[in-house]
Structures are given as C-alpha cells and as structure tokens.
C-alpha cells in the first residue's frame, strides 16, 4: 500500500511536468499543425538558465525560495525570447512550404539548441542546488517533499490560469479562431502572425517552468535533459487528443501515473524478469494502444483525414 | 555522336570512376575508404527510407529500428554471443555460431520486413503525424530492449554490445582479409566498398523500376491525396503496408552490412538521432527523387567526416569547447535549417510536372500582325465613365 501511494505521488509530480510541456506541443500543433521538435530543448535551456542564475547568485545570501523565483523568471524570459525567435526564423518562412520542410527545420533547431548548450554550458552533468527545505512529509507511509508539493500546486495554478486565458480572454478567443481556420480568423480582424507568436511565447514560458521544476526535483541538469521529457510530453499530447488543451493536461498526468506505477510494479508482476529500467517504454506502449483503439485520443474530437 | 552514345559514354566513365575511387582513396589511407563505405551504407538506408517517406508519403521517425533488427540478426547469428549464453547451442555448435550470410541476410531482411508490417498494420489508418510519433516510439522501444536484454538471460549483451562479428565470406572469398590483384593490395575496406557499391546500384535499380511501376504510381497517388487514390480503386492499406515492409527490408539489409563491416554493434549506434539524420538526408536531398536522395545522403554522411581532419587546430583555439564532433553537429544543424529555408523542396527535387510554363512560352497574340483597325476589339471587362 505504501508503494502504491508513493508511486501515485511520484506519478502526479512527473505527470505535472509532462502536462506543462504537452500544452506547449498541443497549442503549437493546434494552430500550425507542426510537431515542434525543439520544444523539449526549450525546456533544457530553461533549466540551464535557471541553474546559471542560481549558481551566480548563490553568494548573496538570499533565501532559497526567492532565488528559485528569480531564476524561474530569468528562465521564462530567456525561453520566451528564444522560442519567439525560433518561430520567426525557422518556421514562419516555411508556412506554405511542403509539410515535411518545417519538421526538418524543427529537428535541426533541436540539434542546434543542444549543440549550442553543449558549447555554452559544457557537456558534463551539473548538480542543481537544493533550494527548498528537504524534510519530507509523511502521508500514510509515503513521503512527499516541499519541492514536490510546490510542483503540484504551481502546476494546478498554471493550468487554471491557462484555461482562463484560452477560454475567457480576447487573446484566447483569437487563438481558438486561428486554430480553427487562420484565413477566416484573419478576415475577422485577428492577426494570425501575432497569435502564433503569442502561442510560442506562452508555450516557452510553460516549458521553462517545467524545466526549472524538473531540475529542482531531480537535482541535475545537462544539455540532453530535454529529449526524453519532450518525447514523453508529445506522447501525452497525442494521448489526450492533440490540439486539445484539457486533453494535454489529462494525458500528461495519466502518462506520469502509468509510468511510475508501471515502473513500481513491473518487477513484481513479472517475477523480476523485467526491471524498472523498462520505465521508458510504457509511454510508447500506451501510445500505440491508444492510437489503435481510440485514434483521436482520450478527449479529442474526430478529425477528418487531411492526409 | 548522338545523345544515346553520349549517355552510354557517361555511364562507362562513371563506372570506371567508381571502380578506381577506392584505389585512389586507399593511397591516402584506409580511413578515407572507410568514410566512403559508411557513406554508401547511408545511401542504402536513405534509399530505403525514401520508399516510405518519399514515395508513399509516410513519415517514419523510427527507421533506425529496422536497421538495428538487421544488425542484431547478423550480430547474434554470426558471433559467439549465443553459444556463450546457451549451453545447448554450445553443444550443437562447438565452434560458435557462424551462420553463412546467405541465410542470415534474407532472415534479417524478412524479420525487418515483418517488424515493419507489424508496426504499420495498426497505425497506417491514422493521420501522418500520429504515424510519425508511433514509429518514433517503436524505435525507442527497440533500443531499450537491446540495452536491457542482458538480464536475466544475456541475449544482446546490453550496452556493452556484441563484438567480433564474422566477416562476409562470399563463396570462399573472405572479405575480411587483404587480397592481392595484379600486384595491388585490396584491403578489407575496399572489399566492402565493392560489396556496398553493388548493393547500392542494385537498390537504385529496384527503386528506379518501382518508381515507374504500377505500385510506385499508386504510392505517389496515395502521397498526393489518399482519399482520391482510394476512389480510383487503389487498395491504400495494402500498398502502404507494402511500402513500409519494403523500406524496412532495405533497413534490415543495411543493418546486417553494418554489423559485418564494423564487427561490433551496440545500442548506441541505433539512437533516435540516427533516425532523424536519415530523414534529414532524404528530405534535404529531395523527397522522392533518387539523385537528390543520394546527394543528400552523401553530403550529410561524408562532409562532416572530412571536417574531422581540419578541426584539430580549431579545438586548440577555443580551449576545447569546440571539438570535431561538436563542430560536426553544429554544421549539420545549421545545414538542415539553412537548406530547408533556402530550398524547401530539397537540394535536388523531382521536377514538377506542368509547372514549368512561364509567361514567355505562352502563345503570342495571333492578331498582332494586323493593323489596329482589323483587330477584334478586346472584350469589355469594365466600363469607365467618361467625363466631358
């Protein structure tokens, strides 16, 4: 029972990170039908920026939570500018090009960001300092620490805020209209280019937040750290129904739960034949099952084939 | 000399050039021949992926999984790995399992094709982007299994990989040894060069014939508009499966070649980066256009290798931050973005039919020679009120 509650907690924390990153994927995909391969690397840049700020300001004697907040703001600013520039340089000129062209520039961007990060920050693993008190709280035999509580609370607030932004504000309405049909949205007085830029900036801010939380939780940062969360988050977005915000959130959290429960119990279920290092394949097995049984994703609507 | 003779002459010259190339490169060191060999392997992979992505328009981001299947097939059946693990095998084959290539390669190709069809069957009715992510996931699953199948039973030897894989032995001619021909020494790398060259030419012929066949035209119809293709009576599901299986076969054979050429395989060689690199070769060169694909593969595989030799001083200048492998990655990344921005359809795309009519070639006005009075008055398209 303790294992169960513990794995649920771990799964929720992991799922929160996935959900935040998945939102970035799903918003971009919903509007311009592009798998933004570089999104996971934006997360990595966020985490590394935050690490740099924390290490640089460590001597000032600021309290840990303030340091974390400052570094988070820095990461959000850097990532927003970065993603804004990426869209302008690599995706916008190719908006009417063959479908695979922007995908290749996205893959190229991902590679470029990783390489530049390797040059700027050197390729070794860097340990992320512990900034929040680390005494664990006990819940029914399972433990949860301050960082994990912070992750859950921040994610919940952010998701609520994003839902408000998309469903209640003028920008949100413009985003939904552009996703529906950019040309008609343009006729209604929406500027698709501005909306697309705004989408990339919001996605980058979410990725930066996820990156800082990921680094704070796992305690290490490196230039390839964005790859797996990025891949999983995209899986989560497809799982929930790509282009659907609520779907990305549900998909992210569910995927986190499936992964951590799977990793916790696979050894027991198979009598030790398969160990927890098979954690990474659960996501993809789930994905293949979902796509076979319910191709539109959990919350997605049926979309006409536009192949 | 007419055009046909010219073509034959070009073919003969190219043939002689290709035969002499390794002998010249060998003169500068076997490392250069090795680079050419690897480049040829990539050409083979890119040709296979081109069937899936270029002809049928199915984005496959896990292509390297089929490459891995072929490589591990050869690795397991052509080394002492299995006999070391299983005592029963050891009793059956006391000298180690040295299965001849004419069993292993068809087996590897078959297994890869089977994996392709198995993977394709549930996913091919989905939209393209879903297919991309499922294939990507499949590639990762294969890699995770290769990495972890060393316990509890040691099958793949995990991250340490499988070493001392047999060389090809074609009817008594051992490709792993240096042979001497007319006083020339022909080392291992050159032997493999000729093998790979043969395979590439064979693959090009297959692709060329496929492109012009009923199947190839059906693939392109599916790529352009699947609904319309279906309406024309094309069995889209079976043809997409066929494309997937065919591409996977090419991947499996290249993998087997890679295993025997390197003599060592480990999961590291089959990462996602490798898959995206092959996709990049195909798209960069020109989707669905054979010369373009070959150019793309050669460019992305060979150019960075050449760069490795000039990067030494650079590394010293930049305090070790920029070494050859980083520079190579940087170059590939910038090339991928730059070429796509400048030429979204690839470096050497297939000619577009019906789009080369420029305004100049439109027929001239047939009444131009007549005096204005004789000309038919132009049709009235708008009436402008005249102010008096």
Chain A residue at shortest CA distance from B132 = A35
For residue A268, what pLDDT is reported? 75
Crossing angle of helices A279-293 and A245-269, rounded to 10°: 120
Is the per-residue pLDDT at A8 higher than 50?
yes
Over residues A30-58, the mean pLDDT reads 92
- Reported as half-sphere exposure (CB side, CA atoms, 13 A), residue B288 has a value of 23
Of the two residues B249 and A101, the one the predictor is more confident about is B249
Beta bridge partners of A273: none
* Look-up of token digits 């049928």: B56
Our CA-based measurement puts residue A108 at a distance from the nearest CA of chain B, in whole angstroms, of 5
Q: Which two three-digit tokens encode residue B79?
A: 């080394």
Over residues B204-223, the mean pLDDT reads 93
Note whether A90 and A105 are within 8 A (CB).
yes
For residue B291, what pLDDT is reported? 92
Domain limits for position B211: 3-349
Chain B residue at shortest CA distance from A119 = B321
pLDDT in tens, B45-65: 999 999 999 998 888 888 999
Of the partner residues B226, B276, B341, the one whose CB lies closest to the CB of residue A305? B226
In a domain, B272, yes or no: yes
Q: Chain A residues with CB inside 8 Å of B125's CB?
A: 295
For residue A284, what pLDDT is reported? 79
For residue B11, what pLDDT is reported? 86
Our CA-based measurement puts residue A176 at a distance from the nearest CA of chain B, in whole angstroms, of 21
**CA distance linking residue A125 with residue A103, whole number of Å:** 29
In a domain, A302, yes or no: no
* Look-up of token digits 């996935």: A18
In a domain, A307, yes or no: no
Residues near B34 by Cβ (< 8 Å), separated by ≥ 6? Answer: B189
CB of B158 less than 8 A from some CB of A: no
∠ CA A236-A242-A246, nearest 5°, is 75
In a domain, B237, yes or no: yes
Of the two residues B27 and B216, the one the predictor is more confident about is B216
For residue A306, what pLDDT is reported? 37
The answer to whether the Cβ–Cβ distance between B141 and A281 falls below 8 Å is: yes
Is the per-residue pLDDT at B375 higher than 60?
no
Is the per-residue pLDDT at B309 higher than 80?
no
For residue A240, what pLDDT is reported? 87
CB of A156 less than 8 A from some CB of B: no
Q: Which domain CATH number covers B280?
A: 1.10.3470
For residue A143, what pLDDT is reported? 84
pLDDT in tens, B242-255: 999 999 999 999 99
Is the per-residue pLDDT at B330 higher than 70?
yes
Q: Which two three-digit tokens encode residue B244?
A: 């997937």
> Which DSSP string do the residues of B110-123 spell out, in sequence order?
HHHHHHHHHHHHHH
Q: How many helices (H) and strands (E) does chain B have?
A: 15, 4
Q: Which two three-digit tokens encode residue A165?
A: 């932004």
**CA distance linking residue A27 with residue A19, whole number of Å:** 12
At A299, the pLDDT band (50, 70, 90 cuts) reads confident
The answer to whether the Cβ–Cβ distance between A105 and B136 falls below 8 Å is: no
**CA distance linking residue A262 with residue B78, whole number of Å:** 36
In a domain, A200, yes or no: yes
Is the per-residue pLDDT at B95 higher than 70?
no
**CA distance linking residue A236 with residue B140, whole number of Å:** 16
For residue B65, what pLDDT is reported? 93
pLDDT in tens, B105-156: 899 899 999 988 888 887 777 766 677 778 888 888 888 888 888 777 777 8
Is the per-residue pLDDT at B386 higher than 60?
no
CB of B287 less than 8 A from some CB of A: yes
Is the per-residue pLDDT at A304 higher than 70?
no
pLDDT in tens, A234-285: 889 888 888 888 899 999 999 999 988 888 887 777 766 676 677 778 887 8
**CA distance linking residue A257 with residue A249, whole number of Å:** 12
In a domain, A305, yes or no: no
In a domain, B315, yes or no: yes
Is the per-residue pLDDT at B301 higher than 60?
yes
- Specify the range with the lowest mean pLDDT, choosing from A246-255, A265-274, B196-205, B218-227: A265-274
In a domain, B185, yes or no: yes
pLDDT in tens, B260-272: 998 899 998 898 8
In a domain, B298, yes or no: yes
- Number of domains chain A contains: 1
The answer to whether the Cβ–Cβ distance between A104 and B280 falls below 8 Å is: yes
Over residues A142-148, the mean pLDDT reads 87
**CA distance linking residue A162 with residue A156, whole number of Å:** 10
In a domain, A303, yes or no: no
Over residues B90-117, the mean pLDDT reads 82
Domain limits for position A87: 2-126+137-293
* Look-up of token digits 């074609």: B170
The values of phi and psi at residue B169, to 5°, are: -135, 95
Q: Chain B residues with CB inside 8 Å of A33's CB?
A: 129
**CA distance linking residue A21 with residue A205, whole number of Å:** 10
* Look-up of token digits 């954690």: A279
Our CA-based measurement puts residue A181 at a distance from the nearest CA of chain B, in whole angstroms, of 19
In a domain, A304, yes or no: no
Q: Which domain CATH number covers A33?
A: 1.10.3470
Q: How many residues belong to chain B? A: 388
The answer to whether the Cβ–Cβ distance between B341 and A119 falls below 8 Å is: no
Residues 18-37 of A with CB under 8 A from B: 29, 33, 35
Chain B residue at shortest CA distance from A272 = B152
- Number of domains chain B contains: 1
∠ CA B326-B331-B337, nearest 5°, is 130
A69 dihedral zone (left: phi>0; alpha: psi -120 to 50; beta): alpha
Highest average pLDDT, of A248-257, B171-180, B294-303, comes from: A248-257
Of the two residues A289 and A178, the one the predictor is more confident about is A178
Q: Which two three-digit tokens encode residue B388?
A: 């008096």
**CA distance linking residue A86 with residue A105, whole number of Å:** 10
Is the per-residue pLDDT at B360 higher than 70?
no
* ipTM for the complex shown: 0.85
**Cα–Cα distances in Å, from B319 out to A223, B37, B162, B323?**
19, 33, 36, 9
Nearest to A22 by CA among A262, A260, A231, A296: A231
At B321, the pLDDT band (50, 70, 90 cuts) reads low
- Specify the range with the lowest mean pLDDT, choosing from A63-67, A77-81, A157-161, B343-347: B343-347
* Coil vs helix vs strand at A76: helix
The values of phi and psi at residue A143, to 5°, are: -115, 150
Is the per-residue pLDDT at A132 higher than 70?
yes
Nearest to B194 by CA among B365, B33, B375, B360: B33
- Best residue of B64, B115, B133 to probe chain A, by most A CBs closer than 10 Å: B133
Share of chain B above pLDDT 70, in %: 82
Note whether B166 and B102 are within 8 A (CB).
no
Residues 70-99 of A with CB under 8 A from B: 89-90, 93-94, 97-99
* Coil vs helix vs strand at A138: strand
Of the two residues B253 and B330, the one the predictor is more confident about is B253
- Reported as half-sphere exposure (CB side, CA atoms, 13 A), residue A211 has a value of 36
At A163, the pLDDT band (50, 70, 90 cuts) reads very high
For residue A307, what pLDDT is reported? 30
For residue B333, what pLDDT is reported? 86
Mean pLDDT of chain A: 87
**Cα–Cα distances in Å, from B33 out to B27, B71, B223?**
9, 21, 38
**CA distance linking residue A80 with residue A19, whole number of Å:** 18
Is the per-residue pLDDT at A164 higher than 60?
yes
For residue B47, what pLDDT is reported? 95
Mean pLDDT of chain B: 81
At B22, the pLDDT band (50, 70, 90 cuts) reads confident
CB of B329 less than 8 A from some CB of A: yes
- Specify the range with the lowest mean pLDDT, choosing from A103-117, B175-189, B329-343: B175-189
């Amino acid at each position: 029972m303790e294992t169960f509650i513990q794995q649920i907690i771990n799964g929720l924390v992991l799922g929160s990170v996935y959900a935040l990153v998945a939102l970035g994927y799903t918003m971009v995909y919903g509007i311009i039908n592009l798998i933004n391969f570089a999104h996971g690397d934006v997360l990595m840049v966020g985490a590394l920026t935050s690490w740099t700020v924390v290490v640089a300001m460590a001597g000032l004697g600021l309290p840990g939570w303030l340091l974390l907040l400052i570094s988070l703001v820095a990461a959000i600013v850097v990532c927003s500018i970065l993603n804004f520039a990426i869209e302008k340089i690599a995706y916008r000129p190719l908006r009417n090009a063959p479908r695979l062209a922007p995908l290749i520039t996205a893959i190229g961007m991902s590679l470029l960001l990783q390489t530049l990060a390797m040059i700027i920050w050197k390729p070794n693993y860097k340990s992320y300092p512990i900034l929040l008190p680390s005494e664990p709280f006990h819940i029914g035999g399972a433990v949860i620490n301050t960082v994990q509580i912070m992750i859950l609370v921040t994610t919940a607030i952010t998701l609520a805020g994003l839902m408000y932004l998309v469903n209640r504000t003028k920008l949100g309405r413009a985003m939904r209209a552009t996703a529906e049909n950019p040309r008609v949205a343009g006729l209604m007085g929406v500027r698709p280019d501005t909306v697309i830029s705004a989408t990339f900036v919001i996605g980058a801010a979410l990725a930066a937040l996820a990156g800082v939380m990921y680094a704070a939780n796992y305690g290490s940062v490196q230039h390839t750290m964005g790859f797996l969360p990025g891949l999983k988050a995209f899986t989560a977005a497809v799982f929930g129904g790509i282009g659907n915000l609520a779907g990305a959130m549900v998909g992210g959290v569910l995927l986190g739960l499936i992964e951590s429960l799977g990793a916790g119990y696979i050894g027991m279920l198979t009598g030790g034949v398969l160990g927890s290092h098979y954690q990474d394949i659960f996501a993809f097995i789930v994905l293949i099952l979902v796509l076979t049984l319910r191709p539109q994703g959990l919350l997605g609507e049926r979309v006409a084939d536009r192949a | 000399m007419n055009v046909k003779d010219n073509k034959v002459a070009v073919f003969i010259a190219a043939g002689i050039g290709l035969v002499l190339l390794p002998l010249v490169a060998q003169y500068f060191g076997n490392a250069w021949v090795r680079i050419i060999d690897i480049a040829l392997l990539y050409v083979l992979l890119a040709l296979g992926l081109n069937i899936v992505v270029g002809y049928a328009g199915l984005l496959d981001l896990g292509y390297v999984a089929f490459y891995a299947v072929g490589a591990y097939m050869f690795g397991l059946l052509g080394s002492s790995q299995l006999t070391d693990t299983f005592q029963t095998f050891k009793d059956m084959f006391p000298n180690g399992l040295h299965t001849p290539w004419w069993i292993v390669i068809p087996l590897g190709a078959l297994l890869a094709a089977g994996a392709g069809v198995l993977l394709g069957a549930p996913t091919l009715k989905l939209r393209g982007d879903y297919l991309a992510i499922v294939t990507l996931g499949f590639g990762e699953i294969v890699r995770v299994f290769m990495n972890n199948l060393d316990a509890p039973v040691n099958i793949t030897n995990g991250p340490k990989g499988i070493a001392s894989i047999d060389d090809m032995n074609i009817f008594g001619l051992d490709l792993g040894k240096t042979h001497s021909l007319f006083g020339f020494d022909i080392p291992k790398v050159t032997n493999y060069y000729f093998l790979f060259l043969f395979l590439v030419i064979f693959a090009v012929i297959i692709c060329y014939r496929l492109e012009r066949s009923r199947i190839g035209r059906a693939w392109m119809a599916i790529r352009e508009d699947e609904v319309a293709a279906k309406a024309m009576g094309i069995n889209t599901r079976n043809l997409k499966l066929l494309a997937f299986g065919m591409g996977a076969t090419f991947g499996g054979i290249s993998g087997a070649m890679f295993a025997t050429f390197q003599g060592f395989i480990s999961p590291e060689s089959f990462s996602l980066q490798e898959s995206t690199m092959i996709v990049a070769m195909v798209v960069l060169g020109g989707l669905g256009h054979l010369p373009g694909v070959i150019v793309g593969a050669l460019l992305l595989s060979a150019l960075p290798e050449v760069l490795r030799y000039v990067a030494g001083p650079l590394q010293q200048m930049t305090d070790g931050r920029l070494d050859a492998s980083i520079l190579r990655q940087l170059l590939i990344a910038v090339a991928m973005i730059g070429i796509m921005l400048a030429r979204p359809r690839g470096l050497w795309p297939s000619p577009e039919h019906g789009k080369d009519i420029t305004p100049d070639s439109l027929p001239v006005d047939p009444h131009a020679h007549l005096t204005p009075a004789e000309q038919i008055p132009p049709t009235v398209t708008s009436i402008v009120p005249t102010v008096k």
